[in-house]
C-alpha cells in the first residue's frame, strides 16, 4: 500500500492528457455525485487545521483516494490517510479507509436527490479503535445553484455505544461554466467517544470555490470556527483526476 502511495504523483501526471473529472462543489460536504460506471478517479486531499490564529501549533492531514464507479449509481473508494502535527513533526494518525456511495434514485426523481455514504476506517496502529461513518446526503439543483445537506453519524467498532452526530451543508453557484463559488458549514453536535472527524470540530463556516477543466477539478474551502470548541481555521483543497 505504501508503495502504491509513492506512485500516486506519477499516476496523476500521466493521467493529465485523458482526464475528465466530475465537478466537485465542496470540500467537506458530499453533493449528489458518483464516479461514472467502469471509470477510475484519483483524488488528493490536503487539509490544514490550527486551533488558534495566534497559535504556532497546527495539523496537516494528507489523504489519497482511488475511486471506482461500479455502476452509474454505485461507487467504491479506497483511502490512505496521514496526519502530522507541527512544529513537533509527530505523526498523530495514519489509517486506511474504504467507502461506498449509492444513489437511492435517479436525479430529479424526488424533491431532493438522496444518496447513502458508508465508511470504514482502520488505523495502522492496532491500539487505535476502528471507526465507522454513515451519511445521508440530500442535494438539489436550482438552475445554476446547488444546495446540499449531509447528516452524519460516526461511531467506534469495539468502543462505547456513544456516537458522534454531525452535520454539514453547502450552497454553490455556477458563475460561469466550470467556475463555482459558495459557502459551506459544519457542526459537531456531540463527541462523547471522540469519534468525530478530526477536521469537523465544533461549528465552522466559510467560503468555497471550485474550478472544473477538461483535465482536472480543484475545489478549495476555508472555514472559521464560530464555537468555543472549534478549530479557528480549517483550509482544505481537493484535486481530482479521472483515469
Tell whether the model's pLDDT for residue 4 goes beyond 60. Answer: no
**What would the pLDDT profile of 66-87 be if each residue is shown by its tens digit?**
999 999 999 999 999 888 887 7
For residues 138 and 114, what is the distance between their CA atoms, to the nearest angstrom? 5
Higher pLDDT, 125 or 178: 178
Q: What is the pLDDT of residues 84-109, one digit of tens each?
A: 887 777 766 678 899 999 999 999 99
| Average of per-residue pLDDT across 168-183 | 96
Cβ-proximal residues to 239 (8 Å cutoff; 6+ apart), any chain: 12, 43, 44, 45, 216, 217, 218
3-state secondary structure (DSSP) of residue 193: coil
DSSP string for 194-229: S-S-TT--SEEEEEEEEEE-SS-EEEEEEEEE-STT
Question: What 3-state class would DSSP assign to 37?
Answer: coil
CATH number of the domain residue 184 falls in: 2.40.160.40
**pLDDT of 8 higher than 80:** no
Rounded alpha-carbon distances, angstroms, from residue 150 to 4, 135, 184, 205: 31, 6, 11, 15
Q: What is the pLDDT of residue 200?
A: 58
Cis peptide before 87 (omega within 30 of 0): yes
pLDDT at residue 53 in the model: 63
The more confidently predicted of residues 101 and 162 is 101
As a whole number, the mean pLDDT across the chain is 81
Q: What is the pTM of this model?
A: 0.81
pLDDT at 195 over 50: no
Residue 54 in 3-state DSSP? coil
pLDDT at position 5: 36
Structural domain for 59, as ranges: 2-242
For position 18, what pLDDT does the model report?
Answer: 38
Number of domains in the chain: 1
Least confident of 3-7, 174-178, 205-209, 229-233: 3-7
Q: Is the pLDDT of residue 199 over 60?
A: no
Least-confidence region, from 96-100, 166-170, 191-195: 191-195
Amino acid at each position: 500500500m505504501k508503495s502504491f502511495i509513492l506512485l500516486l504523483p506519477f499516476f496523476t501526471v500521466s493521467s493529465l492528457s485523458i482526464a475528465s473529472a466530475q465537478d466537485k462543489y465542496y470540500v467537506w460536504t458530499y453533493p449528489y455525485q458518483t464516479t461514472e460506471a467502469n471509470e477510475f478517479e484519483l483524488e488528493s486531499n490536503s487539509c490544514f487545521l490550527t486551533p488558534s490564529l495566534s497559535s504556532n501549533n497546527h495539523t496537516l492531514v494528507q489523504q489519497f483516494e482511488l475511486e471506482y464507479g461500479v455502476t452509474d449509481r454505485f461507487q467504491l473508494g479506497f483511502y490512505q490517510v496521514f496526519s502530522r502535527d507541527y512544529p513537533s513533526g509527530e505523526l498523530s494518525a495514519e489509517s486506511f479507509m474504504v467507502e461506498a456511495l449509492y444513489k437511492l434514485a435517479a436525479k430529479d426523481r424526488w424533491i431532493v436527490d438522496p444518496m447513502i455514504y458508508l465508511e470504514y476506517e482502520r488505523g495502522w496502529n492496532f491500539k487505535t479503535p476502528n471507526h465507522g461513518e454513515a451519511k445521508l446526503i440530500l442535494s438539489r439543483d436550482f438552475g445554476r445553484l446547488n444546495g446540499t445537506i449531509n447528516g452524519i453519524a460516526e461511531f467506534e467498532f469495539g468502543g462505547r455505544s456513544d456516537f458522534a452526530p454531525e452535520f454539514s451543508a453547502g450552497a454553490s453557484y455556477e458563475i460561469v461554466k466550470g467556475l463555482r463559488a459558495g459557502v459551506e458549514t459544519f457542526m459537531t453536535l456531540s463527541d462523547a467517544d471522540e469519534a468525530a472527524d478530526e477536521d469537523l470540530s465544533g461549528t465552522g463556516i466559510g467560503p468555497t470555490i471550485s474550478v472544473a477543466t477538461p483535465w482536472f477539478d480543484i475545489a478549495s474551502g476555508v472555514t472559521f470556527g464560530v464555537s468555543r470548541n472549534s478549530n479557528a481555521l480549517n483550509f482544505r483543497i481537493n484535486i481530482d483526476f479521472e483515469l
